[in-house]
Structure 1
């Protein structure tokens, strides 16, 4: 094809305009790290191992591959290969997890990583939750509380027959399908589990029954809990509570005649749970350890950790994944004793108030009213808070603190996912050296991931890690463009170190696409992402990793700018826990919309904070110009007194809607409530204010609380983070919405603005204007687009001329030579199609079930007039599914993996004939579909290939 000759007058006019500035010379460490991310800033893989069915040779090869792909290392996660046929030898090797051969393999991987300049994290146990093997017998397994309820009326003559609650039946660690339970060494484990069952209490309380929803919660066909959600709680009179445990016979008969009135009878029974560690490899049954018992952790770590030795080569940390403890009611054998010691009263008479369905319920956390409330005001809520605080204390002391201490004693860091735990999650994150969040909740919801970032700031932890790029029920169709969007969402959520989920060890590779840790089955589709060489889009991992590394190199530098400390005093977390299930997160969204970033601050951090220069300084060094409290009734007296001290020291304090009026707990309620009221009054006298929720943004501005920025225009869906680095203000803004946004963003301070492009490492000045000691910059963000903007007070805001288009030409859709190579219906497939027209591969019968690479070729002729000095040439590929690599005259450019698929080809084209090749690869989905295979027939075809239109554009 011959391009149209450009008009000379257009070229002459264009040369009079300033061209876009080139990338400036590297000015310092920040620029250097952005251009070539240092190793510590690069992302990592979660490295799925099929138990111990690995070889030293393959481990070394995969470590080298990760290094060559530009990653910082990996997180070893040993997993049992489900839903594939294993030979007897493979089964035996898989279950050599935590045996000497396994630790030898870990050492091999660690030494290979060290030699390559990488580091590894090691999951402290196969899969999750923690436990498994002969180290965790029934006596160290976690326990749960169950409840049965009966209604009786006064005058009914005893004895009364009660229902004895049974252990909730789930497919547990001792299920008959697991061959490991046939080991003679565990023949009595079932009886030993049963032997731990005991009746905790029988309690009678006057009151009425709750109104319940018809069905209990379940997921994937499993019973998660026997408790149904509550429509209306029952009401109990706590003053009438009678403990009748000693009157219960073994057959469930209660020797008791109720006094006049309507009575609820409760029988509470403790069971050791037989719920198993999910997908665990290793010998013996896989019981979950008791997270309230430090002896259980010690037994576990002796099996899975101690053999590593001290300072194991190449290992950075050990890791504990999300807890996902499936208990009916959270419990520990020592809980009643510990409760009385810590809270100052006996919980037994008030156990009926504890149950609230959905609270920290694994896999289905949600809000429901409690089963029972009290007839006397907030009595029941105080009991629940005391119970949850005790659970929190015992889990932190029984598991998290021993985990951190063990790592430190072995020369390792502790990396921990605190979400999903029924404890102070911010403290749980903060105790770890590397707090880790994940992106499954809310598809990378930056408000959720801010919890881990908050802990990092409060406790002085520089790295905020995230289990990243995971989608439920989408093992094969997630595109690199979607991955890039998710990366940006994680960055604006405060994450600065991503663990990509995940890289599968090469296992059963002959059966394409090979083993996947979340192998699809007839029962479930599994999880993404499948990031290894068998995925046709694997070549996108290197540029994606570089993109992530550039952003993380910036987000690991300097100090975060977070004006608002927003109080969080709950135990556990799920969306809706603070607003009775509404999940609006109204305050958090209002802060960001008004240009104020925030961290959640917990009572433990308040206890260790101080005020200097009218700013709250956390123990980790983070500074907050204001403390805001949500509308809560109860708060710990010591926390209220600390807040009063902050207000007296000059810190602005705001209570949304109303201030707390009481202590959160029941013990010594009268005196503690008086302390809260006195502290709140003192705070108000010192200047604290009660402000309606809708007025909070304006109140912050009126109080001269400095905002991060201000948006003019419709900023719906825009989320940001900000850092100060060497006197510069760095702001990353991401458009999470599905519509483009055109806004003006105003930043505090005056200076020039550059936009840093993490795709290619360029740093380009953009137009900005100084306005009253601020700098305003126009910003257009397409759906899913982001901008990294750097304000430098050493430079001046200026108007930067936009490039002027001087010509374009559309390449024909037909006449391309196409050859494909990959897989169809999971079998190898290659074909030369000859001359084709660009179209979706779903419209080509031979390619509807194809996954792989299609290489398009043609020659183009370029007129010398296009190659004038100062002319920029861009090749726009149009619609690509899902990655593309352009080669011009034998020179291949970096793989493009995210829209828009535009590449600068200036200097690559020559006058006359040029060879153009475009290699397009799609995700594996279409190639795995097999109507005859129940695990793969459920997947639906997705668009694939290249449709264009293709344009060559020139500008100056």
Structure 2
């Protein structure tokens, strides 16, 4: 059990910490807090039915709960509130936006704005011509001397106006002709072959006709063609007009994950393909749509996908970011799901954003995870690293995450379940968390208020809201460290996107979160990432384009001016690699970098000048001469640097003196930051075991400080130097996190960290317990006397079974005399979070496993009183409402669905355990 001498509670220290508390970064204290270091939340405006008074009330409540900002996301409305709807971007809507920005600023909060309503981008300003496009291909057969009887027009319903893009004719003797110029305006083909049998393929620019999903009033309309710069300009002009030439003063404009379905074409495609790939796409249309999967077809589709990626980057992401600059804002973007290179798209914005969807398994004892209440999908930390890698490589400090989407079934998420999930996000390099989320709800709205269909309800109506400062202060402390200095990852790993693109299946290739079993998990890239991280190496991913911008200086690889340098570039097994990429890798080596190949690339992607590029690759590879260095490692000196080939990256890394962090041998997860003369290690114990040992760290130090993000307490650690590193004594329970700050200079203003190594026999907290319900509903149950604490759902009391809110357990007991310097209170099992008072003094919010607190400073000899305020889930009250037919599901569009997207019906739910189950004990040390 880890010791926390002078334990500061989450509530007390949180108040001091969030105000800055006068601590200076160069001392042993926490970094001074900025609003970005606090968690932010997505704030859904239902029907935009908002008022100035309620905006101010809501933001004040959010600020008091520890939130640092909101992201406004207009969506569909509430039934019965139609008269209060405000049409999107009207002067009245802009007035509400200005009120939000002004109020947030007065509260020290920030505001981001979704650059649209619902998702994806689109709306009434987008005509069908500028809406998302799809490729429509129709084929015809024609004999020599015959005329085509039918018109060259689209047969698909609702696509009659789709313009012809080109018409390719294939003769049975190998002839390929372009004959679109022979088609008249009415679709008549004025061409007839002289002889032979011909196949004709007509290509049209169709429309997906996808509408904005979950749009708010005034935001309805077609989805934007994300591959068209002109369409983007049309879309953004509506905002220019609404802003009337002045900035709305939001911090960032936001774009949600790419969910544009079936959009696989744009009129700009042919010209860009010809320019960038070096050949005409039109003669290959028959092969492109053929069901015969060939290697030649895979190359063609690789070129097609590369071009689509370039279009999305150049025609949408980059100009959108430039537009935001014009309005004194920055951009936040979710690139995942896009049919493009995720790393390039993430890197092109100011704040790349990933998302978690579903629930992860953690073997933390006592962590609740009911299989009936979770989706059958686990968030993958490697997927999250695409966003953080792009940020680190491009030199952006902030990386955000839409966090907790569908973490559990509605109304069944506890704060304790949030902790390991958000910690996994932090370990992936994320440092700017957004809750998913908070629905705008007028204070007068009947409980449970206005709700969004896919969120954890971080709203004042949630029974855990009064304990939210426990979670928010924890996140703030962690993010204050993870936003300080720069990332500290030593390895740069190439992502072989061309291996994914070189696939004959399908047309466009969206890299979706839900499809990682297809495009990510089976790859050597993924397997190497997992193996290196498990071994204790820190890494980021790099794309061909980002690598092109890199340089080697002093043996290190620099990817951007503000980016941390990397010690080595590793290239996992990749079949397809552009010659230009290989040349850049070798150029980095010549300038002093170390480049390690798992295997040398075997081929080049695409079709353009294929023989020439293959020959060039062969020449380059034949010019490389490696010497056997033993242990399966081959090496060659190239200029100032070296090129290495090793199927086992770890053997090559060890040979090059790049040490792993052996801290992972204990089962702990970690991430590092470098801040001036200090290096921070953020450690998390997601195992079932207590960690109580001297942990080795690859850093030299004169001072080492332990920083407890749960309580906020800091103290100088016990450590020894060993070689070029140190060993630090750390004690962590399952479910706990710890931050180690190792500095090359002596830090001041620091007290020793006191470790608890000798536990005396535990003391049961015995006496007559009283249970009193302080707030909640549907009704406050009557008080109850107890011989020992127990869940209030075990008493057979209907009012207690239906209740959601707070119940206070209190007891007066005698503390026997012990020769002890400290006492640890352990609440045992808590359903779901607690706040503790000892002899009237606030001992903190215990909101996660382990539910323990250091209380020696509050105890006194003889008689003592403990009061424990416990809040349960919202589920039991929702169950009661559905059983009684009380209407609360009153929302347009999708209304409220369960975790499987079926209409939510809680009437058959089991009663959720609620209250303090115990046992409650105090352990002297």
TM-score (norm 1): 0.80
2:404 paired residue number: 469
Quote how far apart the aligned CAs of 1:734 are: 2.8
Which residue, out of 891, 897, 904, partners 1:935? 904
Unaligned runs of 5+ in 2: 14-20, 359-376, 502-509, 626-635, 886-902
> Is 2:771 the partner of 1:805?
no
Assess, with a 3 A threshold, how the Cα gap between structure 1 residues 712 and 296 changes in structure 2: closer, same or farther.
closer
Structure 1 CA distance for aligned equivalents of residues 676 and 537 of structure 2: 22
Q: CA deviation at 1:809?
A: 0.8
Shift of 1:729: 2.2
Cα distance change of structure 1 residues 504 and 794 upon mapping to structure 2, 3 Å threshold: same
C-alpha distance in structure 1 between counterparts of 2:4 and 2:804, whole Å: 42
- Deviation of the 1:790 alpha carbon: 2.2
Q: Distance in 2 between matches of 1:517 and 1:681?
A: 60
Distance 1:770 1:132 in 2: 62
Contact map agreement 2:525 2:573 (CA 8 A) in 1: no
Comparing 940-949 with 445-454, which one deviates more in the overlay? 940-949
Alignment of 1:85 onto 2:79:
yes
Would you say the 8 A contact 1:858–1:915 is kept in 2?
Answer: yes
1:651 alignment partner in structure 2: 593
Indicate conservation of the 8 Å contact 1:429/1:436, yes or no: yes
Structure 1 position 490, deviation (Å): 1.1
- Of residues 464, 467, 476 in structure 2, which corresponds to 1:540? 467
1:39 aligns with 2:48: no
Task: State the shift of 1:584 in Å.
Answer: 8.2
Q: Which of 99, 103, 120 is the matching residue for 2:111?
A: 120
- Alignment partner of 1:536: what SS? coil
Match in the other structure for 2:89? 98
Q: Which residue of 2 aligns with 1:852?
A: 805
Distance in 2 between residues matched to 1:884 and 1:160, nearest whole Å: 78
Counterpart CA distance in 2 for 1:451 and 1:72 is 25
The answer as to 2:578 corresponding to 1:636 is yes
Give per-residue Cα distances to partners, 1:307-328, cap 9 Å, x unaligned.
235664652111111121111x
Moved more, 403-412 or 889-898: 889-898
The answer (yes or no) to whether the contact 1:887–1:917 under 8 Å persists in 2 is yes
State the distance in 2 between where 1:474 and 1:163 align: 51
Pair 35,883 (structure 1): closer, same or farther in 2 beyond 3 Å: farther
Residue 870 of structure 2 is matched in structure 1 by 920
CA 944–163 in structure 1, closer or farther in 2 if over 3 Å, else same: farther
Q: Label 1:26 to 1:412 Cα distance change in 2 as closer, same or farther (>3 A).
A: closer
CA contact (8 A) 1:52 1:101 kept: no
1:144 correspondence with 2:78: no
**Superposition pairs of residues 271-670 of structure 1, within 5 angstroms:** 271-283=206-218, 285-304=220-239, 306-308=241-243, 312=247, 314-327=249-262, 330-351=264-285, 354=288, 371-374=291-294, 378-440=295-357, 443-471=378-406, 474-507=409-442, 510-518=445-453, 527-570=454-497, 573-574=511-512, 575-576=516-517, 581=522, 585-620=526-561, 621-656=563-598, 658-670=599-611
2:162 touches 2:204 (CA, 8 Å); kept in 1?
no
C-alpha separation between the residues in 2 aligned to 1:30 and 1:197? 65
Distance, in Å, in 1 between the alignment partners of 2:659 and 2:868 is: 50
**Separation in 1, partners of 2:812, 2:600:** 73
Q: Are 1:838 and 2:789 an aligned pair?
A: yes
Counterpart of 1:453 in 2: which secondary structure? helix
2:132 and 2:208 in contact (8 A); partners too: yes
CA displacement 1:390-429 (0-9 Å, x = unmatched): 1111111221112111111111111111111112211211
Residues 536-595 of structure 1, C-alpha deviation per residue, up to 9 Å, x if partnerless? 001222221111111111111122221111112427535256568569821101111222
C-alpha RMSD of matched pairs (Å): 3.8
Helix, strand or coil: the match of 1:75?
strand
For 1:105 and 1:28, the matched residues in 2 are separated by 38
Aligned equivalents of 1:340 and 1:802: distance in 2? 70
Secondary structure of the structure 2 residue equivalent to 1:411: coil
User: 2:738 maps to what in 1?
Assistant: 787
Per-residue deviation at 1:663?
2.9
1:194 to 1:698, Cα distance in 2 relative to 1, 3 A: same
**What does residue 903 of structure 1 align with?**
853
Q: 1:817-836, aligned counterparts within 5 Å?
A: 817-820=770-773, 827-835=778-786
CA distance in 1, matches of 2:4, 2:536: 33
Q: Alignment partner of 1:749: what SS? A: coil
Check conservation: 1:311, 1:412, Cα contact below 8 A. Answer: no
Count the aligned residue pairs: 837
Instruction: Give, in whole Å, the separation in 1 of the partners of 2:444 and 2:583.
Output: 62
Contact 2:65–2:469, Cα closer than 8 Å, also in 1:
yes
1:689-723 deviations in whole A, cap 9, x for unaligned? Answer: 56454x1111111122344x1247463xx432112
Structure 1 CA distance, aligned partners of 2:697 and 2:171?
A: 60
1:886 is aligned to 2:836: yes
Question: What is the TM-score with the length of structure 2 in the denominator?
Answer: 0.82
| Structure 1 residues 922 and 635: CA distance shift in structure 2, 3 A | same
Instruction: Give the C-alpha shift of residue 779 in structure 1.
Output: 5.4
Residue equivalent to 1:222 = none
Q: In structure 2, the residue corresponding to 1:481 is in which secondary structure?
A: helix
Q: Counterpart in 2 of 1:944?
A: 914
Q: Matched residues in 2 for 1:701 and 1:380: separation?
A: 41
- Report the alpha carbon displacement of residue 461 of structure 1 after superposing the two structures with TM: 0.8
By how many angstroms is 1:862 displaced? Answer: 2.9
